[in-house]
Amino acid sequence: AQKVTQAQTEISVVEKEDVTLDCVYETRDTTYYLFWYKQPPSGELVFLIRRNSFDEQNEISGRYSWNFQKSTSSFNFTITASQVVDSAVYFCALSEESSGAGGTSYGKLTFGQGTILTVHP
Amino acid sequence: KAGVTQTPRYLIKTRGQQVTLSCSPISGHRSVSWYQQTPGQGLQFLFEYFSETQRNKGNFPGRFSGRQFSNSRSEMNVSTLELGDSALYLCASSSPGRGVSGANVLTFGAGSRLTVL
């Protein structure tokens, strides 16, 4: 069974601080995707980043960066120079491959418990 | 490009009733997934539909069911509502494909918030 653990329940920082959200996952699949989603108070889950299991290259996208390490099954997410608008609940998620007639899909996600990030002005 | 549309956004039901929630995916997306979000259990997978076929089902009782139509629109139904079914129900759609930019990224709707009294 797949499992995603976000050890940090809540994080509070002051604006312009860097903040790293931790995520550890468990899976027996060899092909999978890892995601970070953000859920602001409005409730809609907003896609942030995705990484597939066969590409460990870490990247930076604007103020976001991530560190994917298969050896430790970790997929940590960093926000640089945080802003008040970054305040939200952040979810790490792991997808599961499903094959059948018509092709392969990855619609089943296992989510972590979420990390509440509060950025104070 | 229109996003994922869920209706209704809010609804109140009483125990024992049934409810049907609707989801219109992004045009061209063939996979539709449903999730339940509660404060106690977090985000839990309900089911995934792909080309009108149920691909996966989460660990929920048979009272929870769904279907997908030929235009990829999906509905989920909960019968004999219980207080514990009060939750935010999220629908997500995705376009399958390996190595295709944007493929397999679930785009979520704003959700349907169900309150059971």
Q: Is A104 on the interface with B (CB under 8 A)?
A: yes
B8-32 tens-digit pLDDT? 999 999 999 999 999 999 998 888 9
B11 to chain A, any CB pair closer than 8 A? The answer is no
Annotate chain B with DSSP letters as a single string. ----EEE-SEEEE-TT--EEEEEEPPTT--EEEEEEEETTTEEEEEEEEETTEEEEE-S--TTEEEEE-TTS-EEEEE-S--GGG-EEEEEEEE---SS-TTTTPPEE---EEEEE-
Q: Is the predicted pLDDT of residue B95 greater than 90, yes or no? A: no
A98 — contact with chain B (CB < 8 Å)?
Answer: yes
pLDDT at A58: 66
More confident: A104 or B43: B43
pLDDT, chain A, mean: 90
- Which of B44, B47, B93, B106 best probes binding to A when mutated, by most A CB atoms within 10 angstroms? B106
Q: Name the stretches of chain A with pLDDT < 50.
A: none
pLDDT at B99 > cutoff 70: no
Residue among A42, A100, A111 minimizing CB distance to B53: A100
